[in-house]
Amino acid sequence: MGSRASERKNPNPNPNWAQLQQKLKSHRPRLASAEASATTSALGKRKERPESEPEVSPASVLSPTSDDCSLTEALAMDCEMVGVSSDGTKSALGRVTLVNSWGNVVYDEYVRPMERVIDFRTKISGIHPRNLRRAKKFWVVQKEVADMIKGRVLIGHALHNDLKVLLLSHPKREMRDTSAYQPLQREGRRRALKDLADQVLGIKIQKREHCPIEDARAAMLIYKKYKKEWEKSIKEHFKLKKKIKNKSKKKLAKRNNLPVKDDGETTKVL
């Protein structure tokens, strides 16, 4: 009777049974983690959100590539305007900047308009009343800029606006306007300089007040990236234009029975 009672109390007489149970308990968490990892591998890992790339600083891209501050064959120009006339809606020159091919500033002057300034347009132009107190007179700046750009390739964005406030003209053959260059347009429409800087140079400009130095450098860099194709298209355009002009001259000379030179020029018969 006593032996049967002891068997009921200890149904597993093996002394190693307790140790075996302990080992099984210690292995359960590992098995659970293995099962969890197997489930994860079967379902696939959860995709981690890609970290946003740090924004490229305009200064790092637009910094001059040389210490050369000479007047190079090509110059980039940008102007900032202020508002004149009775309601301030008429634009007048407030600042003009020229940079050379290396991005170095060769001219940067605030300008005192001929008319009273009604709106400084500071949020866009960056011009404050204090900037124009000792600024150069318009006629002085106009002459200095005209002398500097004469005979040089002029680069800029919407150059017709800058030349208009300067009361200057420039040969079309020597103008490279990033707003008018067809490959830079979108469906035939002109785009803002800040959009082109973002797409072509990978930088953000004109976030707040405009900086003419920054804008001129951006226009210069955009031009240099397309320079080879751009210059080729300019040559082809004017070559075709000359061909058409000579052809029309030959027709006119033939109609009037005038002798024609090889270059298409007519000679007067005295």
List C-alpha distances in Å: 233 to 55, 155, 176, 181, 185: 34, 16, 11, 10, 15
* pLDDT at residue 247, as a whole number: 75
Domains and CATH numbers, the chain: 58-232 (3.30.420.10)
**Tokens, residue 169:** 């003209």
pTM over 0.95: no
Distance between CA atoms of residues 212 and 77, nearest Å: 8
What pLDDT, on the 0 to 100 scale, is given for residue 58? 83
> What is the predicted pLDDT for the residue at 60?
82
In the prediction, which pLDDT does 27 show? 54
pLDDT for position 52: 57
Q: Residue 165 and residue 114: Cα distance in Å, rounded?
A: 11
Among residues 33, 61, 81, 65, the alpha carbon closest in space to that of 203 is found at: 61
Separation in Å, CA 131 to CA 42, 56, 112, 216, 239: 68, 30, 9, 20, 46
68-99 tens-digit pLDDT: 999 999 999 999 999 999 999 999 999 999 99
Q: What is the mean pLDDT of each run of 10 residues along the chain (270 residues)?
A: 51 58 58 50 52 71 94 98 95 98 98 96 96 97 98 98 98 96 94 96 93 97 97 90 78 71 50
Q: Which residues contact 98 (CB under 8 A, 6 or more apart)?
A: 75, 76, 77, 105, 106, 107, 108, 145, 148, 149, 216
Which residues contact residue 89 at a Cβ distance below 8 angstroms, ignoring those fewer than 6 apart?
Answer: 83
Residue 153 pLDDT = 98
Give me the pLDDT at residue 186, please.
93
Are 194 and 206 within 8 A, CB to CB? Answer: yes
pLDDT tens, position by position, 221-269: 999 999 999 999 999 988 888 888 777 777 777 777 766 665 555 444 3
Q: Measure the CA–CA gap between 45 and 12, rounded to whole angstroms.
A: 45
